């Protein structure tokens, strides 16, 4: 028996036979061109390939009719239509005096270098999108009209597809033809392959090195999507074990479906509010289907990556996007909250498609995690913050929009944003004869730094709600980069300092009657949920895929028992000033 591991991205356990989806390797010629006429012809070839690729994506969108895939394909199409991308490639052709294919290789290398240094995992995962788009252009340049329909069996029941890195259209087709699971050699938890696989409900394990060479055609394979594990040619004992797990998982899904109509409350009747963290417009539907009471976190920088070029500079485009989201968030004709975090970028979170001629995002900093990021960046460059605030204030007439400020560490930051909001409302009322008031939209802050946590009583009177960003809070409290393999084992959310800080945040917010949620990974950690509940947290904001699991767990917990548990923990490790 052969055991392999990868990244678990879509839950589910399945047993099936292997079908290897081999993609033809594209040869990329490198030519040096000397005449201007030859270079002009290469630019023309590139433009024709671009037009063909855009049309191909449009046809795929019409054919597959899947909302999540449609958003991904539209993002790829917008990347192709981005004039800066075209200019960059044309400039490379002329500067390097090379053919279009080789220019694309150079462009890809430079773009990937920019993204690979990003601290944000989602941004790093966009390397897959760049590779997909450039691969599409290569196929157009080489007139490669082969398609997946010719290479994929019509029926894939009880088959687990193994591929290098399928495109969004290929992934949807794999699901439509009945595949029971998917294994890929590339990808990450934040790649579009992962996001789409979760949306399709297809058990998937990504980033399995050499999967295509190690797994043989038609051999029996167990795919454990919970743990990212694969077992090829399992013995009878292993097969029986996973057959039982598969049956148990199907029963679990059945029970979860019954949770939709049930109130979210603990075993002793304490009501809990479950919100969703979303990344796409399509995530709104998933959140509502899972019973979310609204959106607790929309990372707006992701919209800047997904929408059309110029989105960052275009108030109208942003307004239409936020309006579309706010309008979709209704339940029984009542608007549900849409919490939009303002642009959270910096040198560690670059935007691959900058607006206009700005190049600030390329400036390297010696310690970007402690540098110009979050609200610091927005107040340093208020033009883009004002565009976003104006769009959000306009869209607030169509739903319940809340504005969330990232990386707050002092009162002045909130006061300065309040001034900008007042300025924006004054301008909007004059321009549109509307009645937008400065207090129309709720304003909240992210508690991500110990500084903010320690001056909560000074900050809370200035805001309407708070959201705890537990990922950064743990990192800054322990001074540990969880992505650094050398020290990641010391990244411990159970550390007494972290527990104490979280307890103080939640207790202070409750004491001052300020709504408080946790929207980081701890909010969906089964081991940490009882602790948060015991601290007095009554609002969790998590990925839509985790909502039903958390609801099920909360229904089995007694808030009083959880409170006793946290009190005992704090007694053993008393908070500062309480010993």
SS3 of 303-360: HHHHCCCCHHHCHHHHHHHHHHHHHHCEECCEECEEEEECCCCECCECCCCCCCCCCH
Region 341-359: what's the mean pLDDT? Answer: 60
Least confident of 12-16, 404-408, 532-536: 12-16
Does the pLDDT of residue 352 top 50, yes or no? no
Give residue limits of the domains in the chain.
2-23+148-235, 36-141, 271-476+515-520+539-544
Region 574-578: what's the mean pLDDT? Answer: 51
Interaxial angle between packed helices 382-395 and 411-432, expressed in degrees from 0 to 180 and rounded to the nearest 10: 60
Domain 2-23+148-235: assigned CATH number: 3.50.30.10
Tokens 């992210």 belong to residue: 446
Q: What is the pLDDT of residues 101-129, one digit of tens each?
A: 999 999 999 888 877 766 666 667 778 88
Q: What is the pLDDT of residues 200-235, one digit of tens each?
A: 889 999 999 999 999 999 999 999 998 999 999 999
Residue 355 is predicted with a pLDDT of 42
Region 66-83: what's the mean pLDDT? Answer: 81
**H or E stretch including 468?**
strand 465-468
Two structure tokens written together for 137 = 């252009």
Residue 305 is predicted with a pLDDT of 67
Residue 296 is predicted with a pLDDT of 97
If pLDDT is split at 50, 70 and 90, which confidence band does 357 have? Answer: very low
Q: Domain 271-476+515-520+539-544 falls in which CATH fold?
A: TIM Barrel (3.20.20)
Residues in CB range of 216: below 8 A, 6 or more apart: 18, 232
Region 525-548: what's the mean pLDDT? Answer: 93
Region 422-433: what's the mean pLDDT? Answer: 88
As a whole number, the mean pLDDT across the chain is 87
Does the pLDDT of residue 379 top 80, yes or no? yes
> Does 331 qualify as catalytic in the annotation?
no
Does the pLDDT of residue 375 top 80, yes or no? yes
If pLDDT is split at 50, 70 and 90, which confidence band does 391 have? Answer: very high
User: Cα–Cα distances in Å, from 338 out to 304, 398, 424, 515, 552?
Assistant: 17, 11, 20, 15, 24
If pLDDT is split at 50, 70 and 90, which confidence band does 353 have? Answer: very low
Q: Tell me the H-state helices in 3-82.
A: 36-64, 67-81
If pLDDT is split at 50, 70 and 90, which confidence band does 348 have? Answer: low
Between 530 and 256, the more confident residue is 530
Q: Tell which CATH architecture fits domain 36-141.
A: Orthogonal Bundle (1.10)
Does the pLDDT of residue 266 top 90, yes or no? yes
Percent of the chain with pLDDT over 70: 90
Query: Catalytic pick from 192, 400, 543, 546?
Result: 192
Residue 511 is predicted with a pLDDT of 96
Q: What is the pLDDT of residues 248-261, one digit of tens each?
A: 888 877 777 778 77
Q: Are 446 and 467 in contact (CB under 8 A)?
A: yes
Two structure tokens written together for 146 = 């082969």
Nearest alpha carbon to residue 499 among 479, 528, 469 = 528
Between 370 and 344, the more confident residue is 344
Residue 241 is predicted with a pLDDT of 93
d(CA 60, CA 77): 11
Tokens 């000033």 belong to residue: 577
Query: Catalytic pick from 519, 543, 546, 562?
Result: 519
> Does 562 qualify as catalytic in the annotation?
no
Residue 360 is predicted with a pLDDT of 46
Q: What is the pLDDT of residues 24-58, one digit of tens each?
A: 777 888 999 989 999 999 999 999 999 999 998 88
Residue 361 is predicted with a pLDDT of 47
Two structure tokens written together for 405 = 């400020």
Between 185 and 114, the more confident residue is 185
Between 339 and 26, the more confident residue is 339
Does the pLDDT of residue 146 top 70, yes or no? no
Q: Are 503 and 565 in contact (CB under 8 A)?
A: no
Residues in CB range of 474: below 8 A, 6 or more apart: 480, 482, 491, 492, 493, 495, 498, 520, 522
If pLDDT is split at 50, 70 and 90, which confidence band does 370 have? Answer: confident
If pLDDT is split at 50, 70 and 90, which confidence band does 573 have? Answer: low
Region 151-180: what's the mean pLDDT? Answer: 88
Does the pLDDT of residue 199 top 50, yes or no? yes
Residues in CB range of 348: below 8 A, 6 or more apart: 117, 118, 119, 120, 365, 368, 369, 371, 373
């Amino acid at each position: 028996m052969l055991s392999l591991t990868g990244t678990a991205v879509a839950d589910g356990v399945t047993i099936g036979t292997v079908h290897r989806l081999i993609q033809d390797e594209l040869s990329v010629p490198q030519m040096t061109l000397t005449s201007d006429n030859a270079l002009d012809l290469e630019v023309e070839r590139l433009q024709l390939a671009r037009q063909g690729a855009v049309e191909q994506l449009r046809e795929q969108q019409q054919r597959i009719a899947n909302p999540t895939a449609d958003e991904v394909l539209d993002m790829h199409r917008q990347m192709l239509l981005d004039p800066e991308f075209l200019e960059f490639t044309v400039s490379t052709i002329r500067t390097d005096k090379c053919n279009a294919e080789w220019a694309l290789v150079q462009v890809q290398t430079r773009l990937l270098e920019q993204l690979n240094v990003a601290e944000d995992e989602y941004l790093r995962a966009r390397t897959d999108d760049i590779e997909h788009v450039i691969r599409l252009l290569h196929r157009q340049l080489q007139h490669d009209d082969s398609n997946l329909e010719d290479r994929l069996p019509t029926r894939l029941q009880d088959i687990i597809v193994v591929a290098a890195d399928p495109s969004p259209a290929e992934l949807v087709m794999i699901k439509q033809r009945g595949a029971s699971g998917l294994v890929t050699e590339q990808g990450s938890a934040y790649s579009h392959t992962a996001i789409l696989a979760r949306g399709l409900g297809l058990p998937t394990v990504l980033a399995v090195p050499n999967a295509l060479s190690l797994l043989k055609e038609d051999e029996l394979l167990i795919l454990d999507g919970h743990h990212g594990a694969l077992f090829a040619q399992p013995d009878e004992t292993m097969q029986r074990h996973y057959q039982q797990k598969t049956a148990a998982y199907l029963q679990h899904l059945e029970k979860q479906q019954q949770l939709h109509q049930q109130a979210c409350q603990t075993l002793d009747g304490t009501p809990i509010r479950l919100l969703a963290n979303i990344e796409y417009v399509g995530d709104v539907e998933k959140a509502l289907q899972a019973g979310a009471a609204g959106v607790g976190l929309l990372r707006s920088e992701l919209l800047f990556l997904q929408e059309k070029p110029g989105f960052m500079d275009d108030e109208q485009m942003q307004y239409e996007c936020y309006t579309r989201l706010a309008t979709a968030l209704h339940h029984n004709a009542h608007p549900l909250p849409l919490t939009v975090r303002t642009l959270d970028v910096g040198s560690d979170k670059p935007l691959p498609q900058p607006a206009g001629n700005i190049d600030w995002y390329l400036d390297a900093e010696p310690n970007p995690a402690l540098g110009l990021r979050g609200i610091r960046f927005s107040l340093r460059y208020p033009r883009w913050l004002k565009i976003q605030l104006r769009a959000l204030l306009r869209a607030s007439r169509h739903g319940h929009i809340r504005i969330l400020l990232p990386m707050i560490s002092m009162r002045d930051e909130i006061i300065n944003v309040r001034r900008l909001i007042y300025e924006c409302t004054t301008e909007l009322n004059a321009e549109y004869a509307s009645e937008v008031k400065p207090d129309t939209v709720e304003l909240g802050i992210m508690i991500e730094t110990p500084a903010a946590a320690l001056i909560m009583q000074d900050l809370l009177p200035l805001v309407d709600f708070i959201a705890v960003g537990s990922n950064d809070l743990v990192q800054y409290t322990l001074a540990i980069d969880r992505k650094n393999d050398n020290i990641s084992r010391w990244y411990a959310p159970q550390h007494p300092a972290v527990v104490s800080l979280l307890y103080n945040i939640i207790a202070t917010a409750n004491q001052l009657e300020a709504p408080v949620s946790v929207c980081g990974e701890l909010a969906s950690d089964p081991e940490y949920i009882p602790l948060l509940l015991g601290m007095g947290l009554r609002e969790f904001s998590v990925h839509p895929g985790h909502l039903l699991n958390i609801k099920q767990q909360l229904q089995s917990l007694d808030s009083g028992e959880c409170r006793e548990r946290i009190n005992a923990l704090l007694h053993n490790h008393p908070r500062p000033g309480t010993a």
